[in-house]
Structure 1
Amino acid sequence: MALAVLVGIYRYRSDTFSYSSFSSQLLENQKLFWGSALWHYAVVLILLAHFIAFLLPPLWGGIIGGPLRFPLEALGLILSLVGFVALGWLMMRRFSTRRIYVVTTRMDWVVVGLLLFQMLFGFVISLSYRWGGEWFVSSTAPWLWSLVTFNPKPEYVTAFPFLIQLHFFTGFLLIALFPFSRLVHLVAFPIGYLWRPYQRVIWNRAPRPGPGFRTS
Structure 2
Amino acid sequence: MMEWLLWGILPYAVLVIFIGGHLIRYQYDQLGWTVKSSEFLSKKDLRYGILLLHWGIIFVLIGHVLGLIVPKGVYDALGITKDAYHYLAIGAGIPAGIAALIGLLLLVRRRLTNPKVKQTTSKADTVALLALLVVVGSGLSATFMNIDSQGFDYRTTISPWFRGLFYLNVQPELMTEVPVWFKTHVLAAFAFFAIWPFTRMVHVFSLPFMYLTRSPMIFRKKRKNNAA
TM-score range, shorter chain: 0.7 to 0.9
- Secondary structure in 2 matching 1:200: coil
**Counterpart in 1 of 2:168?**
150
Q: In the alignment, is the contact (CA less than 8 A) between 1:34 and 1:86 conserved in 2? A: yes
**Counterpart in 2 of 1:3?**
17
| Structure 2 counterpart of 1:141, from 153, 156, 159 | 159
For 1:133 and 1:36, the matched residues in 2 are separated by 33
For 1:161 and 1:44, the matched residues in 2 are separated by 25
Q: Alpha-carbon deviation of 1:141?
A: 1.5
Count of residues paired in the alignment: 210
**Counterpart in 1 of 2:66?**
52
Any gaps of 5 or more consecutive residues in structure 2?
A: 1-14
Distance of aligned partners of 1:31 and 1:207 in 2 relative to their CA distance in 1, 3 Å threshold:
farther
Distance of aligned partners of 1:28 and 1:147 in 2 relative to their CA distance in 1, 3 Å threshold:
same
Aligned-pair identity (%): 22
RMSD of equivalent CA atoms: 2.7
Residue 163 (str. 1) matches residue 184 (str. 2): no
Q: Alpha-carbon deviation of 1:54?
A: 2.7
Q: How does 1:111-190 map to 2 (within 5 A)?
A: 111-130=128-147, 131=149, 135-190=153-208
Task: Provide Cα deviations, 1:132-175, integer angstroms capped at 9, x if missing partner.
Answer: 99823221111112222334211111211222111100101111
For 1:56 and 1:170, the matched residues in 2 are separated by 22
For 1:182 and 1:59, the matched residues in 2 are separated by 37
For 1:128 and 1:4, the matched residues in 2 are separated by 30
Q: Alpha-carbon deviation of 1:106?
A: 1.0
Q: How does 1:50-89 map to 2 (within 5 A)?
A: 50-57=64-71, 58-59=73-74, 62=78, 65=82, 67=84, 69-89=86-106
- Which letter does structure 1 place at the counterpart of 2:23? I
TM-score by length of 1: 0.85
Q: Alpha-carbon deviation of 1:52?
A: 3.0
- Which letter does structure 2 place at the counterpart of 1:56? V
- Secondary structure in 2 matching 1:189: coil
TM-score by length of 2: 0.81
For 2:24 and 2:81, the matched residues in 1 are separated by 40
**Counterpart in 1 of 2:222?**
206
- Secondary structure in 2 matching 1:30: coil
For 1:180 and 1:64, the matched residues in 2 are separated by 42
Task: Provide Cα deviations, 1:180-201, integer angstroms capped at 9, x if missing partner.
Answer: 011111111122322x222323
